[in-house]
Each structure stands twice: as structure tokens, then as C-alpha cells.
Amino acid sequence: MPRNGDANDGHAALLADRAFCLNLLRHLMLVRKFEERVYQLFGQGKVHGTAHLCVGEEATGIGTTFALKEGDLMFASHRGHGQAIGKGIPVERIMAEILAKDTGVNHGRGGSMHIADIGHGVLGANGIMGASGPLACGAALYVKMKGIKDRAAAFFFGDGSSNLGAIHESMNLAAVWGLPVMFVLTNNGYGMGTPLKAAVNDTDLTKRAVPFGMKSYEVDGNDVLAVYLTATEARGYVVGNGAPALIVENTYRTSGHSKSDGNLYRSKEEIEWWKARNPVIRFTERLFEGGYAQGDIDEADRWAARTVDDAVDYAMGCPDPAIDDFERASYA
């Protein structure tokens, strides 16, 4: 069970902002439908390689990226489709990359695990656990050395990678150098199939901030408004104080780790319990409580479905990439 965040303050004000909430809902649904479509395309043999889906974790990617500003720099995790969509990369360019097309954001050279779009501040999703921690420190060092105000570097990692030396080293570096890094820890309870309690002795991951003198936040990662409010507060702290912060977002991945996942490490009942509490359902319930109509929900659902359909149509029609000189392309 995730610990609930304390952030009910601010929810009412946000719920009153119709345009914001409906946009948030659209994007939650977009990530959900995007991931479901990637899964389906996999089944049809149209996606090559691998993909790590974030079904069930949509609120972490969307809630956090909605709290970022346009110029903010972001390093996504290997389970990063939702993070990339939230940061504003056009969905069709992400889909084209997953389908290995030339029009993909990486021109078909990276695939699902490496979505990058510098123009949107996405300095890449990384296939090596925890490796983006040091890179995020470097991006934040650039911000600091250039004296750029109101800009953060956000970096997504998981409960599994929280045990890597690179994470601890980068937390220490960011803290001792005063770098504006948001360490966004998406705690989905499993490192691949290894449960958190088998990987760490103390499952309170906010304590990872303590030895480095870092501020930490914890939030119910299936409550998109809570994630947004917490990430906004953390961002404000990071840029305001020139110091890093850890944000632990407790959630659950209802999709498999990757296509190889036979779900041998968890029960159907556990998955179903979480499916019934997924971020789309949770937010929809909040919206009804806030006076939104079924029509609002349906409209967001249609928009998301149409956006994914359009993205797939676009990507399917795109050419495969070609490289004339691979050795030259490896260097600047």
C-alpha cells in the first residue's frame, strides 16, 4: 500500500480550473491508450525489440511533467513513454520512434528505451538503471554555471535503481554543489520482478535523501493532482534554493515489466486490486466529485483515442531510416 500524500490542500482550487483538469485527464488517458496500443502492436509483430510500458503509473509521468516548465531539462527512465508525452514531445514522433521509423524522434536509432528530443528538453530516456542521475547533475551544473534562473533538471528513476551507486553519488554531488535537480523516484514496488522489501531493508525510500542533507517529498503516485502539487512544490524548492530534492511517488505497474513478463512474481488479485485504483479511475472519480459531467470524461477519452489513432496512422506511413555512413554518424 502506498502512503498517501498529505496534499489535499490545493486540490479544490485545481479542480475548479476546468481547462487544466480536462487537459490533465486527456493526457492521463493519452498515456494509457498509447501504452495499450504499443502493447497491441507488439502482439501484431509490428514493434521490434522491446518496450517497457507504464500502465498504472500514468499519474507519475503526467503529474510530474505538468509541474515542469517549458525550459526545464528532463531525463526519462526506461519506462518513459508517459514522461516523454507529458513533457510535450509530439505523440506521433514517439510512436514513429517505437516503430523504428526515420521520422521518430531518434530517427529510429534508439527505440522505446531511448526517446530523446532536445527541443522539448528531453535529454533522453536511459536503458541503464540510474545512469541518468549523473547526467542530470551535469545538465543542472550547466544551469548553475550559466546563472539561468527558474530552471530545473528532473530525472526519473525507480525503486529498483534507487540502490545503484550512481544514484547515491549523484544525490551527494547535487547536494554538495547546490544543483537544481529533482530526483523523481517512481516507486512501483518492484525492480522488474523483485519486490521492494526483498531489495531494501528499509522500504521508506524518502530516507535516501537524509544522508545527503536533501529535502524529500512523498506522494500517492496514483493521485495525479497530488503528484502535480507535490512536484510543483518540489520544483519551487529546487529552483528557489539551488538545491536538489527527492520526490518519492508511490504507484503500481499493472502492465508487465516488458514483453517477457509472465507475472510469476505477483498474484492476479494484486494486479486487479491496483487496476481498480489506477490513476485514470482515481482522477475520474475526483472529477465527478468536483462536478464534472460524464460528457467531459467521454470527450477526453475520444480525444486520447483519436490522438493515438492519428499517431499510429502517421507512423505506419513513414519510411524506415537509412544511414549512408554509420561510422561518420557515430561522431560529430
Partner 1 sequence: MREMTYAEAIRDAMSGEMRRDEGVFLMGEDIGVYGGAFGVTRGMLAEFGPERVRDTPISESAFVGAGTGAAMMGLRPIVELMFSDFMAVCYDQIINQAAKLRFMFGGKVTVPMVIRAASGGGTGAAAQHSQSLEAMFCHVPGLKVVAPSTPRDAKGLLISAIRDDNPVIFLEQKLLYGTKGAVPEGDYAIPLGSADVKREGGDVSVITYGRTVQMALDAAERLAREGVRVEVLDVRSLYPLDRGAIIGTSKKTGRVVVAHEAALFGGFGGEIVSVIADSEAFFHLDAPIKRVGALHCPIPFNPGLEAQVLPSAVRIEAAVREVITGGV
Interface contacts to partner 1, rule CB under 8 A: 73, 104-110, 114, 116-118, 123-124, 126-128, 131, 133-142, 145, 153, 165-166, 169-170, 172-173, 176, 327, 329-332
List C-alpha distances in Å: 127 to 52, 79, 111, 163.
Answer: 10, 9, 10, 16
Q: How near is the Cβ of 168 to partner 1 at its closest, in Å?
A: 9
Nearest-angstrom CA–CA distance, 32 and 9? 27
Q: How near is the Cβ of 314 to partner 1 at its closest, in Å?
A: 17
Q: How near is the Cβ of 308 to partner 1 at its closest, in Å?
A: 23
The three-state (H, E, C) secondary structure of 211-229, written as one string: HHCCEEEEEECCCHHHHHH
Cα dihedral angle (165, 140, 330, 97), rounded to 10 degrees?
A: 90
Contacts of residue 78, defined as CB under 8 A and 6 or more positions apart, other chains included, come to 52, 113, 125, 126, 127, 129
Residue 123 or residue 209: which is nearer to partner 1 going by CB?
123
Residue 30 or residue 105: which is nearer to partner 1 going by CB?
105
Nearest-angstrom CA–CA distance, 59 and 251? 8
Residue 58 or residue 72: which is nearer to partner 1 going by CB?
72
Q: How near is the Cβ of 183 to partner 1 at its closest, in Å?
A: 13
Rg (CA), the chain: 19
Q: How near is the Cβ of 187 to partner 1 at its closest, in Å?
A: 22
Nearest to 24 by CA among 92, 90, 101, 82: 82
Residue 62 or residue 243: which is nearer to partner 1 going by CB?
243
Contact 299, 27 (CB under 8 A): no
Residue 85 or residue 280: which is nearer to partner 1 going by CB?
85
Nearest-angstrom CA–CA distance, 144 and 240? 12
Q: How near is the Cβ of 240 to partner 1 at its closest, in Å?
A: 21
Residue at grid coordinates 512474481: 265
Residue 142 or residue 265: which is nearer to partner 1 going by CB?
142
